[in-house]
Every structure is written in structure tokens, then in C-alpha cells.
Amino acid sequence: MYIESMDTSVYLSTTYLGPVQQYVKLYHYPEVYIETAENYIKQTYRNRCTIAGANGVLPLTVPIIKPDTPKCLTKDIRISDHGNWRHLHWNALVSAYGLSPFFEYYEEDFAPFYQKKYEFLFDFNEELRTLICELLDIQPTIHYTDHYESQLPNDFRESIRPRHPGDDASFRPLPYYQVFRERHGFLPNLSIVDLLFNMGPESLLVLRDAVI
């Protein structure tokens, strides 16, 4: 059963180390519904994130096993072991944030996710999200949908996506310290780990104020 109040609930897709925009919603809404019954959509944050590397924006993509049917529920998408991606992703995070103020503080929390093999993308994403919410000290009540509905209030399942960040008029990226900012300028709406590793506990202030 869905909560209908437009003031308290929000609908989100699952994301891999989702963007700051996603965690602004997790901060501001006490009731969060994460979609499990949608058909998987390619080229979204469901299996990719963006971080700030020495050469600029760096996308990281979790490879998936191609479903046997044209349509497959996101919760049924399996992770592929192709390309030693866990090692590559972890090395990219260390390279990008090893000199950031808080990476060393959080490193041991994230490292196990790149050592353990997860079968399903959804489970991997959600365990990471749970950890990040704990580290940020944000405590929304999480619900998982059991069927798909369209035209829901506060529905950001499709508006939080890499190619159309402007679809969410309530979000405004706030500048904060980034390791390579002097080289590239401020890079907005990267993965939440960019904010966390650079700002630590003060990340909450950015999430609080990144709304219109």
C-alpha cells in the first residue's frame, strides 16, 4: 500500500552509488519507496555512477548479464563478472579520492563491496545505499514496491537520470570542496561518494540546502 501524502513520501529507482540528487530526496522525505517492479532501463544510474577523477568526470558502470527476454524487472537483473570490474572500480575510487579529506575515514566501509560477489544488481545497490545512509546519518523509512504504478506523487524514478538532470526542478546543485576543483571547476551532481569523501559529516548541510 502506498502512502499518498505529497509532503512525506517519494518514489525513487535503485541506483549504484547514486548521485547527490538522489540523496537529497532521501534526506528530505521521511518515507521513501524504491521501485522493484519496473522493467530495467539501460543507460541510467541503476548500474552506473559518475565520479571526479584527475582527468574530469569518470563514469563507472557495473556490467550486467543481458536478460533472456526484452523486458526484465530491475530486481531480477544479475551482475556480470566481465572485465574484473570490481578491481577497476575500487582502483578508480582510490585514485580519485585517496587524497580527499575523508576517504581514509570511510575506506574500510566501502572496500568489502568490491571484494564480495553479489548476484543481483538490486541487492548490491541497496546494501550500498543502506551503508551510505548510515554514514550520512539520514534515516528515511524505506519501502519496496510490489507492483508498478504510474502517475505517483513525488515520482523521481525517471527524472533522476544522467542525460536529463534538469527534469527535477526542485534540485539545485550546491558547490562544495572537490579534490580536482581547481583543475576542472566544480562538477555538479556526481555520485554521493564524491560529496561524502570530500565533505564527511558536513555532507548533510549540502543535502539540506540543495533544494528549491
Chain segment 152-208, per-residue pLDDT in tens: 999 999 999 987 655 788 899 999 999 999 999 999 999 999 999 999 999 999 999
In a domain, 202, yes or no: yes
- C-alpha to C-alpha distance for 129 and 196, rounded to whole angstroms: 13
Q: How many domains does the chain have?
A: 1
In a domain, 159, yes or no: yes
In a domain, 55, yes or no: yes
Q: What is the DSSP letter of 165?
A: G
Q: What are the pLDDT digits (tens) for 14-45?
A: 999 999 999 999 999 999 999 999 999 889 99
Task: Report the predicted TM-score, pTM, of the whole model to 2 decimal places.
Answer: 0.93
User: Is residue 209 predicted with pLDDT exceeding 90?
Assistant: yes
Say how far residue 181 (Cα) sits from the centre of its chain: 21
The rounded mean pLDDT for the chain is 93
Tell me the mean pLDDT in the region 139-158.
93
Q: In this predicted structure, what is the pLDDT of residue 99? A: 95
What is the band of 2 on the pLDDT scale with cuts at 50, 70, 90? very low
In a domain, 2, yes or no: no
Q: What is the DSSP letter of 52?
A: E
For residue 83, give its domain range.
9-209
In a domain, 91, yes or no: yes
In a domain, 4, yes or no: no
In a domain, 1, yes or no: no
Backbone angles phi, psi at 9, to 5 degrees: -120, 155
Residue 52: name the closest of 93, 82, 101, 113 by CA: 93
In a domain, 108, yes or no: yes
